[in-house]
Amino acid sequence: MSRPASIFGEVESALRDASGERRVEVLRRVTDLFVGQSEQITQEQSEVFDGVLNRLIKNIEDRAIAELSARMAPLANAPVGTVRALAKHDNIEISGPVLACSERLTDGDLIEIAKTKDQAHLASIAGRTRLNVVITDVLVDRGSADVANRLAQNSGASISNTGMAKLVMRSDGDDRLTESLALRADIPPHHYQNLLSQATDAVREKLLQSAPPERQQAIKNVLLRISTYIAPRAVPREQYREAQRIISAFNQDTELLKAKVFEFAVKKRMPEVVVGLSTLSAMPLDQMDRLFCVPNAFGLLAVCRSVMLDWESARAIVKVSAAVEALQLSDENEMAAQYNTLSPASAQRLLRFWQARQKVTKAA
């Protein structure tokens, strides 16, 4: 390695009394030295550079640090501490390059950042060439509509079954996300059917026309099954008014109300179940009614989990809904597994995303 000692001496001098421009010049020279000989640099030497670069970036303007990030991002042996510091920076111009492609960041690093930083950071992570489910689960849970869509478009992102169910629910009323999910080669058949069942006619036609010939028949088969599905009739308003009168007797006692909702579900008294769950979750009655009238049960599972109902109650509630017609034993086992892994906080976030999209759709 050429002239490292002299340059490192300049670092000390620059940090003591040099101007900002002088520090930028020294940072570039240190970076040039590392990049130019990166293939020959040992682990020990990399640690030395780590210390030097970390000291410099704490005392230098963002523009120069962003330049450093862009140069370090593609290096397979970039100094780990420096890369982590860059990735955690609040300025996305600095953190973005390493978040998007640096191999030096571990799954743990990416999860920590995805849980604590803003949506621009999450979007950069969502575009990485490869993503494991432990990361995509966090992105699905916390990401905005743009992050969700970018993730859905990323064929190198592995998405868990629960993560896919959340994305399908979030795509209700979001044509862009619906199209992105429909084009994924790894979307399970039951999620694909749920996706198309809530898609607009325009999106269905677009997907059919753009699909390769070998997939068009499969899409037609799914659409045929959807067309034979008869959605339950809306509950008459007078039945909801009566249900509201009945539920009002219990709405001051949350635990009693939960018990009554379960009791009404076992008796298949849908108006009381809808109103009771709406009261427990503070979700508008029309939105709760919609969740009961779609063939996808995941939305109801999210509501039940958000108010911390037990699985027995959630199962009874789902069996009052339209989703019961398509349920099999294997589906119940899968739902139970999803329910047990879904945290109340995650369910609440998912419902906020869904409700926001419903308001936009209704307004449009």
pLDDT higher at 70 or 48: 70
Range 50-71 average pLDDT: 90
Quick check: 233 pLDDT over 90?
no
Rg (C-alpha) for the chain, rounded Å, is 26
Q: What percent of the chain has pLDDT over 70?
A: 91
Q: List pLDDT tens digits, range 200-211.
A: 999 999 999 988
Query: What pLDDT does 38 receive?
Result: 81
pLDDT higher at 217 or 111: 111
Quick check: 3 pLDDT over 60?
no
- Residues with Cβ within 8 Å of 140's Cβ and at least 6 positions away in sequence, in order, are 148, 151, 159, 163, 166, 167
Q: Give, to the nearest 10 degrees, the angle between helix 133-142 and helix 161-170.
A: 30
Average pLDDT, the chain: 90
Q: List pLDDT tens digits, range 120-142.
A: 999 999 999 999 999 999 999 99
* 303: its two tokens: 């509501």
Query: What pLDDT does 327 receive?
Result: 62
Q: What percent of the chain has pLDDT over 90?
A: 64
pLDDT higher at 2 or 297: 297
Query: What pLDDT does 46 receive?
Result: 85
SS3 readout for the chain: CCCHHHHHHHHHHHHHHCCHHHHHHHHHHHHHHHHHCCCCCCHHHHHHHHHHHHHHHCCCCHHHHHHHHHHHCCCCCCCHHHHHHHHCCCCHHHHHHHHHHCCCCCHHHHHHHHHHCCHHHHHHHHCCCCECHHHHHHHHHHCCHHHHHHHHHCCCECCCHHHHHHHHHHCCCCHHHHHHHHCCCCCCHHHHHHHHHHCCHHHHHHHHHHCCHHHHHHHHHHHHHHHHCCCCCCCCHHHHHHHHHHHCCCCCCHHHHHHHHHHHHHCCCHHHHHHHHHHHHCCCHHHHHHHHCCCCCHHHHHHHHHCCCCHHHHHHHHCCCHHHHHCCHHHHHHHHHHHHHCCHHHHHHHHHHHHHHHHHHHHC
